[in-house]
Amino acid sequence: MKQPFIAAIVLAACALAALAVHVASRQARNYGPVSSFVAGKGSIAMVQTTTALYRLWETKAVRGRTVVHLGKFLHYMGDDSSSGYAVSQAAPPAPYPLKVTKSTPLGGEEITYRNFLRATMAGGIARKIINVLPPEEFRKRFGAKADLAPEVFEYEYVSPRIVAMRIAPQHEPVLLNIDASFFADETVPAVIEMLRRSGVTADVVTVCLAEDSPDVTESSREKAREFMQTIKAAGWSVAGEGAH
Q: Are residues 40 and 56 in the same domain?
A: yes
Spatial separation of the C-alpha atoms in residues 99 and 104, rounded to whole Å: 8
Q: Are residues 23 and 93 in the same domain?
A: no
Q: Residue 66: pLDDT band by 50, 70, 90 thresholds?
A: very high
Q: Residue 30: pLDDT band by 50, 70, 90 thresholds?
A: low
Provide the number of structural domains found in the chain: 2
Closest by alpha carbon to 182, among 19, 50, 72? Answer: 72
Spatial separation of the C-alpha atoms in residues 33 and 42, rounded to whole Å: 8
Q: Please report the pLDDT score of residue 95 as a whole number.
A: 42
pLDDT at 165 over 80: yes
Q: Are residues 89 and 2 in the same domain?
A: no
Q: Please report the pLDDT score of residue 100 as a whole number.
A: 40
Instruction: Give residues with Cβ within 8 angstroms of 80, minimum separation 6.
Output: 73, 74, 86, 87, 88, 114
Q: Are residues 126 and 81 in the same domain?
A: yes
Closest by alpha carbon to 45, among 239, 244, 235, 243? Answer: 239
The model's pTM is 0.76
Of 239 and 92, the one with more pLDDT: 239
Task: Identify the domain containing residue 2 by its residue range.
Answer: 1-30
Q: Are residues 8 and 108 in the same domain?
A: no
Per-residue HEC secondary structure of the chain comes to CHHHHHHHHHHHHHHHHHHHHHHHHHHCCCCCCCEECCCCECEEEEECCHHHHHHHHHHCCCCCEEEEEECCCCCCCCCCCCCCCCCCCCCCCCCCCCCCCCCCHHHCCCCCCCCHHHHHHHCCCEEEEEEECCHHHHHHHHCHHHHHCCEEEEEECCEEEEEECCCCCCCCCEEEEEEHHHHHCCCHHHHHHHHHHHCCEEEEEEEECCCCCCCCCHHHHHHHHHHHHHHHHCCCEEECHHHC
Q: Are residues 47 and 130 in the same domain?
A: yes
Q: Are residues 72 and 137 in the same domain?
A: yes
Q: Residue 1: pLDDT band by 50, 70, 90 thresholds?
A: low
What is the Cβ-side half-sphere exposure of residue 196, based on CA atoms within 13 angstroms?
11
pLDDT digits (tens, 9 = 90+) for 76-105: 865 444 333 233 333 334 443 334 433 344
Mean pLDDT, residues 42-51 taken together: 94
Q: Are residues 12 and 89 in the same domain?
A: no
Q: Are residues 6 and 127 in the same domain?
A: no
Q: Are residues 10 and 123 in the same domain?
A: no
Q: Are residues 2 and 111 in the same domain?
A: no
Q: Are residues 4 and 106 in the same domain?
A: no
